[in-house]
Structure 1
């Protein structure tokens, strides 16, 4: 929902001063320079303004704003490609490849050299910086909405229901980036149609700000894993949409406590549990472990996989600065685990291929937490980026393995 501390922004239209509530899900600061743009504004001019730090308040046709945002995205991508080409040339000189490089694209050349290069972490962070810069530039195309999220633009759809579901009730005018508005509309679509989980024969319905389980190769691992002999109480730590708790319920676990710190995630999980009529799943808002609960015979967790700083609400499901959640979960697991209980940890090794975390470091965290590896199940990701050899980090992504670690008390 919207932050409790309200921020406002003002601008001039025809020498009249306007002001409105500033809404930004990516925590962009309120714009200082705002110019009015419309259907006559070229994409090149809009790109120049965005790069100069100027925000643009759209006054034209709503559908044309979509097209302008797409044109801005293309220009940003071309700029990113030029920068990565320079990085590829620099990397190729240091790698001394044994093949002819002139026939290779910049991205393919980078991918060919990644495995032996010490530049992998730098390339990852460069990519993250580029993503953050892209977000900042695209967020400079703004829309004004009346109270109740009503748009006065030509051919504007009714966005009030999607925005209310995403941001909460609003009884005053607001300024919002077109990109955030698109996010709310997209989330409304996911919430309506759901994400099919074919292994389970059902769909999960994500809410805005809750990571959609579009990548779920680990589901089969959870279905194949042998349950502990005693599995009457289980915890799902960081439940998100509630998918892991649903799998445990389908497998016959009698009492499940699902926790999350994010109110949006709790509301999302509750809706998914109610759809499936799962009265044996209890939700609790908690930072990791539940309170006033019995010791768990089984504890499952799918933490963010990459140790990097998140820059938006959705990224908290992917990026975990300094592996804080992962380490916190491991350090506290034994205290909440029954004597013969098991921890099921879902984790990709992409961080290892990106040289952001080593396998020895991970195993050291297990040992420090008083946990030992019982065994592990692995699977190969099938998502599109793992197959895309034009991706700068293709060599790392194509080598990725997703694992279900079985940990027991020492």
Structure 2
């Protein structure tokens, strides 16, 4: 193949060489070749390509048995990384108009434009696994998602955390005193927490997110829901300028390095985001204001964070817990006994903390 534009969500370098393959390729042969470092350019039938990916995935080794929650977590991450490195070497080509060059291929151009913008090359090469994820996200974006308590559907974008877990959204309904308040939403994602608060009477929300896709997603959803006049979103890390009456955040909850762009919604290396939120919270609150922190205890259950870590950080940052509400996890992984991390996930609890500046000690 002549020159092409390479698309990767994980920042992998473009393949130096592509080896064309077709429907005659078996899963066993494909595994041998990708393990040697080849990128295999599939040129056959789209449905056969999907079946090949599935068959290759089933041949990969499961996570090793672990003696502790943290070992199980590390083994699971290594397994997922191996799966990514292996299956992402099955790649496909798109033409100048983002048409997929496979037999019985679905229409993918709109999904590609939503993520990458207009095509700027005669050929674009992407892993089939990534493209399938983009197609799934485009369907969610088209159909929209019902969120408990939200009037209207939420339309998530590719690469933005999909709020299919409803525990943290439902916890926010315990916050009743929002009418007329100025709100900051730190790490907004789709904007769902902002919209829930606006629909319940918040005067305005200024939201931030480090990812440009999240910013575009939140802005589009505010327009769809008729909230754009009271909603502002900007690309940036942590707090917007100024102060607010209410500051809400549902930060990444696993203190480990993200491996790709999508991971940043879940993985927060060395608690950087969470520490930054706690350190800056008091300084961005108006007098009498309150912070709302939504946080899962999965990191504690996996032995990635000490049980008293949050208490120590709150004390260090001069914050006190005014009140809190908790909810047990009800998502699918909490019920899946075949999941390697089921022992921890089945006990996961998400808590909404109402945070205020701690009273100053008097001498």
Which residue is equivalent to 2:158?
208
Could you tell me how far apart the structure 2 residues matched to 1:388 and 1:319 are?
22
**TM superposition score normalised by structure 2:** 0.94
Could you tell me how far apart the structure 1 residues matched to 2:196 and 2:151 are?
11
Q: Deviations over 1:209-243 (max 9, x none)?
A: 11111112112211122427x85211111111000
Which residue is equivalent to 2:45?
61
Which residue is equivalent to 2:130?
180
Q: Secondary structure at the match of 2:4?
A: strand
How many residue pairs match? The answer is 356
Q: Secondary structure at the match of 1:202?
A: coil
Q: Is the 8 A contact 1:195 1:212 kept in 2?
A: no
Which residue is equivalent to 1:95?
none
Q: Is the 8 A contact 2:43 2:101 kept in 1?
A: no
Which residue is equivalent to 2:361?
none
Which residue is equivalent to 2:194?
245
Q: Which moved more, 1:338-347 or 1:162-171?
A: 162-171
Unaligned runs of 5+ in 2: 359-363
Q: Within 5 A, what are the aligned runs for 1:59-138?
A: 59-76=43-60, 79-80=61-62, 83-84=63-64, 87=65, 91=67, 119-138=68-87
Q: Deviations over 1:18-72 (max 9, x none)?
A: 2211111122222245322101111111122122222101111122111111111
Q: In the alignment, is residue 370 of structure 1 matched against residue 306 of structure 2?
A: no
Q: In the alignment, is residue 270 of structure 1 matched against residue 254 of structure 2?
A: no
Which residue is equivalent to 2:142?
192
Could you tell me how far apart the structure 2 residues matched to 1:231 and 1:341 are?
13
**What's the C-alpha RMSD, in Å, of the aligned pairs?**
1.5
| Of 183, 189, 206, the match for 1:234 | 183
Q: Deviations over 1:91-140 (max 9, x none)?
A: 4xxxxxxxxxxxxxxxxxxxxxxxxxxx2212211211111111111100
Give the Å deviation of 1:284. Answer: 2.0
Could you tell me how far apart the structure 2 residues matched to 1:218 and 1:171 are?
40
Q: Is the 8 A contact 2:321 2:354 kept in 1?
A: yes
Could you tell me how far apart the structure 1 residues matched to 2:162 and 2:261 are?
12
Q: Secondary structure at the match of 2:24?
A: coil
| Of 257, 269, 279, the match for 1:321 | 269
| Of 22, 29, 48, the match for 2:32 | 48
Could you tell me how far apart the structure 1 residues matched to 2:337 and 2:54 are?
24
Q: Secondary structure at the match of 1:154?
A: coil
Q: Is the 8 A contact 1:240 1:265 kept in 2?
A: yes
Which residue is equivalent to 1:110?
none
Could you tell me how far apart the structure 1 residues matched to 2:296 and 2:181 are?
28
Give the Å deviation of 1:317. Answer: 0.6
Q: Within 5 A, what are the aligned runs for 1:378-389?
A: 378-389=326-337
